[in-house]
Structure 1
Amino acid sequence: NWSTTQMKKTLIAAAVMAASGVAFAASNVTLYGVIDAGAVVSKVKHNTTKVQMKSGFDSGSRWGIKGVEDLGNGYAVGFQLEQGFDSDTGADTASNSAGKSFGRETRLYVDGGFGQVGVGRFGSLASGAGSYTILTGWAFGTSYEDQGSWTSFGKTNSRVNNAIAYVSPSFGGFTVHAMYSNGTEDDANKWSDNRHYYGLGLKYADKAATAALIFEALDGKGTGGEKKVGTGLNTYLKTLGLDLIEGKELEALDKNKAEFKDRKTAYSVTAGATYNFGVVTAMGIYQYAWESEMYSQHAFGLSASAPLAGGTAKLGARYLLGKLDGDAKNVAKALDADTKYRAWNIDAGYTYPLSKRTYFYGFAGYSDGAKLYKDVENGKFNGWSVGTGLVHKF
């Protein structure tokens, strides 16, 4: 008993796959997507103000195909293929999809009384992306880029390749979540040369409350070896959130090569919760993340959402404090730089539904860094942005 809308989506999906030379027999394949088109004004410390057309500022623009087949006896097999794109150019240059056919997610899964097992490429447990993430506790989720996304302050493993995920059945509102990646980018080499991700989480959900506790580890296997000096250093600077080496300085350093050691395992523990009081939904999130010879840090977030004038208003604040460790600390001392870093951020947003599938959004955010982050030209820690746009889902 399919609705007219569902039938139309199935017919469209059939046409898309027929046009691409792909045959299918299932009757429940669905084409879906999100288109986000907006305008953003932003400024990063020591840089000029930018006015830009933006795709995916609120929700990443994407299209996908998904389907499921009932095997009987409580078992089912399903799939999902999802690709991102930029609505302002039509290109597949979205950061998570560039150069990939389905860069946002590719998964094949089996459902049964045991829960669900899925394999493919998808977001890690605390990434805030994909079908298996259980991140909660921040009103803005991973929206609004550097200023609004929780991942700009917290450490995250984003999407991982060569992954397998498990979700248990619900026990009194609790579910267990586990994930492993046999190579976050590639697993063509021997096991000890591939970088691996491990995640374990516990989620609780009822009508008023949600909560999650997530432990993640990303080992440093395969990160060493002989590399161009400038490019090698940039991999470390990016992890710390510092300015990258660019231009002629990068070219000069890259003329030299050095043997880099494998990085240590990076760990994080993330806890978040929400509670709907009726008038307002309150949220809190905390993460402790550390990597030997690199850093240790704490990130906190408090936020809330509430109905307002037919839409939903959101308000949030975050604080980050951390310090460099080991080799990274020694390098900072040699450069006469601070070995501790701080940053705070405030965000406000509003969404208004124009229909069941279309809504308007507005957002403003400001961040300010201190100590090591005082003058870094990075919008995550020093800058502001104001944006508005429209999101349509199909």
Structure 2
Amino acid sequence: AGWTLGLMYSNGISGDTNRWSHDRHYWGAGLKYQAGAIKSSLILEAENKVTYATVNGVQVKEAPITAKYTVNYGLEYNTGSWTPMFTYRYVTQDEGVKAHKFGLSALIPYAGGRFKVAAAYMFGKDESIKAGEDKINHWQVGAAYEYPLSKRTVIKPFIGYAGSGKGWKNLGYANDGNIYNAWQAYIGMHHFF
């Protein structure tokens, strides 16, 4: 009746040298609904981060690290002429990042191809920032045009910008520019074998 359920589990994602009970584990569950012009999905994911060290030949539990959790929701509606989409994500990550992210995008047919446009905004907290403001935000915008050169080959130019503010405004790697604020442009070709 349009519903699909998926479950996934991994009993070791950081190597296979530890016993399964001493390794990092991943759990995931996804629920998808599709009926006519509507597609929707909800995905829940978790990863435990308990680690063990070997001291004098004995495995000892190290200080526990907060588990990572992710909730993803997506919705799209094909109007017949174009397809608007909405996404929401809540995530907790390593080093104490907790954030909400909202996105809007669309597929728009035009001149034998189709435009893909998207914008997203994220806000939250980054507890790894020791000095200064730990509140963060991040935004992205982008547009691409996919044009079929044949039934199996598509060419796609793209341009996009990502920027950050608050605690991430000036964060980056030394000698590598600011990784949180950048333009990107490319032309790619995709061939289906």
Which TM-score band (shorter chain)? 0.7 to 0.9
The equivalent position to 1:385 in structure 2, one of 176, 184, 188, is 184
Partner of 2:15: 186
Question: What residue is the counterpart of 2:100 in the other structure?
Answer: 298
Instruction: Quote how far apart the aligned CAs of 1:181 are.
Output: 0.3
2:31 counterpart of 1:202: yes
Give how far 1:291 is off. 5.2
- Structure 1 partner of 2:58: none
Aligned match of 2:42: 213
Q: Which has the higher strand share?
A: 2
Q: After TM superposition, give the deviation of residue 393 of structure 1 in Å.
A: 1.5
Letter in 2 for 1:311: G
Aligned-residue offset at 1:205: 1.4
Aligned position for 2:143: 348
Indicate the structure (1 or 2) with the bigger Cα radius of gyration.
Answer: 1
CA spacing shift, 1:379–1:293, aligned 2, 3 Å:
closer
Per the TM alignment, residue 260 of structure 1 is displaced from its structure 2 partner at its CA by 6.5
Please list every run of at least 4 consecutive aligned residues from structure 1 whose deviation after the TM superposition is greater than 4 angstroms: none
In 2, are the aligned partners of 1:367 and 1:380 still within 8 Å (CA)? no
**CA separation of 1:323/1:352 partners in 2, compared to 1, >3 Å: closer, same or farther?**
same
Q: Distance in 2 between matches of 1:217 and 1:321?
A: 20
Q: Which runs of 5+ in 2 are unaligned?
A: 55-60
1:292 deviation in Å?
A: 8.8
Contact residue 338 and residue 371 of structure 1 kept, 8 A: yes
> After the TM superposition, which residues 214-363 of structure 1 pair with which residues of structure 2 at under 5 Å, given as runs?
214-222=43-51, 225=53, 261-290=63-92, 294-325=96-127, 328=128, 332-333=129-130, 336-363=131-158
Which structure has greater helix proportion? 1
Per the alignment, do residues 363 and 260 of structure 1 end up closer, same or farther by CA in structure 2, a change over 3 Å counting? farther
Shift of 1:308: 0.5
Letter in 1 for 2:91: A
Distance 2:116 2:106 in 1: 6
Pair 380,310 (structure 1): closer, same or farther in 2 beyond 3 Å:
farther
Deviation at 1:191, TM superposition (A): 2.3
Give the Cα separation in 2 of the matches to 1:292 and 1:391. Answer: 34
Q: In 2, Cα distance between the equivalents of 1:304 and 1:204?
A: 19
What CA deviation, in whole Å up to 9, does each residue of 1:169-224 have, x standing for no partner?
xxx100111000011132331123211100011101133121101110000022x6
Alpha carbons 2:138, 2:164 under 8 Å: kept: yes
Partner amino acid, structure 2, of 1:340: K
Q: Any idea what the Cα deviations from partners look like across 1:210-254, whole Å, max 9, x if unmatched?
A: 1101110000022x649xxxxxxxxxxxxxxxxxxxxxxxxxxxx
**Structure of greater relative contact order (alpha carbons < 8 Å, 6+ residues apart):** 1
**Equivalent position amino acid for 1:370 in 2:** G
Q: Which amino acid aligns with 2:34?
A: A
> One-letter code of the match for 1:298?
H
Cα separation, 2, equivalents of 1:293 and 1:349: 33
Aligned to 1:373, the other structure's residue is in SS state coil
Over 3 Å counting, the alpha-carbon distance change for 1:373 and 1:273 in structure 2 is same
Task: Provide, for residues 3-51 of structure 1, a one-character-per-residue CA deviation record: whole Å limited to 9, x for no partner.
Answer: xxxxxxxxxxxxxxxxxxxxxxxxxxxxxxxxxxxxxxxxxxxxxxxxx
TM-score, normalization by structure 1: 0.44
| 2:171 paired residue among 373, 376, 387 | 376
Of all paired residues, the percent bearing the same amino acid is 39
**How many residues matched?**
183
Q: Output one character per residue of 1:78-115: Cα deviation in whole Å (capped at 9) or x when no partner.
A: xxxxxxxxxxxxxxxxxxxxxxxxxxxxxxxxxxxxxx
Alpha-carbon RMSD: 2.2
| CA apart distance, 1:293 | 6.8
